[in-house]
């Protein structure tokens, strides 16, 4: 596993923003349009703040989420709300965005339209993932009823899932999409997640440690 350790979170976010800008620019040199999948949750906000201030051809970048809680964007739980507020602003305001949630539809109904738009964007040009201390990533959770089918090689690109202890249904990019990304980064903080990512590397079993799907190809960025 390629793990980069930083002296503090601010330095990690600044350095990772630089790295992502370079990955996006490299992809933009050889593609008219590029896809950029980002995590939700509480970690990436400062990364988005820094990235949104970077000058690049954002109008040729489609931003999407690795996963979404099936809630309206008015909800504090919405990952799309986080991305619109913290990433799709400043220079990055001109980026395209592919939200997953559709008001009034159940996850399975809403995903048909998303899947049709997502497929031509694959493989993902740049992927950033978070991780939970339970070794979940995106919404691929240990113990989820749909986990085995979501990490299978024949999984559809995006799936509706439920997860133990999660208050709402979720939708998630699936194993083949995550492991097929051209450039993959994981951003985690704290001792518990450091121990968890090292455990995931040794387990090397996506059914127990979903993050292990991508650890052979990803760069893991960690600060205390
Ligand atoms: O919708 C989500 O919650 C995320 O996409 C999820 O996969 C997240 O990256 C991890 O749960 C870590 O979340 P924190 O950054 O809040 O610890």
Cβ(41) to ligand 1 under 6 A?
yes
Cβ(137) to ligand 1 under 6 A?
yes
Give pLDDT tens digits for 54-86.
Answer: 999 999 999 999 999 999 999 999 999 999 999
Q: Which two tokens stand for residue 101?
A: 């949630």
Confidence at residue 151, expressed as pLDDT on a 0 to 100 scale: 98
Q: What number does the ligand 1 atom closest to the CA of 138 have?
A: 7
Cβ(66) to ligand 1 under 6 A?
yes
Name the band, by pLDDT with cuts 50, 70 and 90, for residue 217: very high
Confidence at residue 73, expressed as pLDDT on a 0 to 100 scale: 97
Cβ(42) to ligand 1 under 6 A?
yes
Q: Which two tokens stand for residue 123?
A: 């493989």
Give pLDDT tens digits for 157-210.
Answer: 999 999 999 999 999 999 999 999 999 999 999 999 999 999 999 999 999 999
Domain 2-223 has CATH 3.40.50.1360: yes
Longest dimension (CA), the chain: 45
Q: Which two tokens stand for residue 135?
A: 């070794």
Out of 41, 139, 167, mutate this one to test ligand 1's pocket (max ligand atoms within 8 Å of CB): namely 41
Confidence at residue 37, expressed as pLDDT on a 0 to 100 scale: 99
Three-class DSSP labels, the chain: CEEEEECCHHHHHHHHHHHHHHHHHHHHHHCCCEEEEECCCCCCHHHHHHHCCCCCCHHHEEEEECEEECCCCCCCCCHHHHHHHHCCCHHHHHCEEECCCCCCCCHHHHHHHHHHHHHHHCCCCEEEECCCCCCCECCECCCCCCHHHHHCCCCCCEEEECCCCCCCCEEEECHHHHHCCCCEEEEEECHHHHHHHHHHHHHCCCCCCHHHHCCCCCEEEEEC
Q: For residue 5, with 0-12 CB atoms within 10 Å meaning exposed, 13-18 middle and 19 or more buried, which class applies?
A: exposed
Q: For residue 45, with 0-12 CB atoms within 10 Å meaning exposed, 13-18 middle and 19 or more buried, which class applies?
A: middle
b/e 123-143 (16+ beta carbons within 10 angstroms → b): ebbbbbbbbbebbbbbbbbbe
Give pLDDT tens digits for 114-134.
Answer: 999 999 999 999 999 999 999
Confidence at residue 52, expressed as pLDDT on a 0 to 100 scale: 98
Expressed in angstroms and rounded, the spacing between residue 220 Cα and the centre of ligand 1 is 15
Confidence at residue 72, expressed as pLDDT on a 0 to 100 scale: 97
Confidence at residue 85, expressed as pLDDT on a 0 to 100 scale: 98
Summary mean pLDDT of the chain:
97
Name the band, by pLDDT with cuts 50, 70 and 90, for residue 214: very high
Out of 9, 38, 40, mutate this one to test ligand 1's pocket (max ligand atoms within 8 Å of CB): namely 40
Q: Within a 10 A sphere around the Cβ of 91, how many other Cβ atoms?
A: 14
The answer to whether ipTM exceeds 0.90 is yes
Q: Looking at residues 85-110, what average pLDDT do you find?
A: 96
Give the domain ranges of the chain. Answer: 2-223
Confidence at residue 91, expressed as pLDDT on a 0 to 100 scale: 98
**Is the bond into 123 cis (omega within 30 degrees of 0)?**
yes
Give pLDDT tens digits for 2-25.
Answer: 999 999 999 999 999 999 999 999
Query: What percentage of the chain exceeds 90 in pLDDT?
Result: 97
Give, using CA atoms, the residue closest to atom 6 of ligand 1: 138
């Amino acid at each position: 596993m390629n793990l980069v350790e930083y002296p503090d979170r601010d330095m990690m976010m600044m350095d990772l923003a630089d790295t992502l800008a370079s990955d996006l620019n490299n992809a933009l040199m050889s593609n008219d349009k590029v896809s950029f999948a980002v995590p939700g949750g509480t970690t990436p906000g400062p990364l988005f703040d820094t990235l949104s201030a970077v000058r690049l051809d954002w109008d040729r970048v489609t931003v999407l989420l690795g996963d979404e809680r099936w809630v309206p964007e008015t909800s504090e739980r919405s990952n799309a709300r986080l991305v619109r507020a913290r990433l799709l602003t400043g220079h990055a305001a001109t980026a395209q965005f592919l939200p997953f949630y559709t008001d009034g539809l159940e996850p399975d109904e809403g995903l048909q339209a998303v899947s049709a738009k997502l497929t031509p964007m694959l493989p993902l040009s740049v992927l950033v993932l978070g991780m939970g201390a339970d070794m979940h990533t995106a919404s691929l959770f240990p113990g989820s009823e749909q986990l085995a089918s979501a990490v299978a090689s024949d999984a559809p690109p995006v799936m509706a899932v439920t997860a133990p202890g999660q208050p709402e249904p979720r939708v998630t990019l699936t194993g083949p999409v995550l492991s097929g990304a051209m450039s993959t980064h994981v951003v985690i903080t704290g001792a518990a997640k450091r121990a968890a990512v090292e455990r995931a590397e040794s387990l090397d079993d996506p059914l127990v440690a979903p993050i292990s799907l991508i650890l052979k190809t990803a760069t893991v960025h960690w600060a205390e």
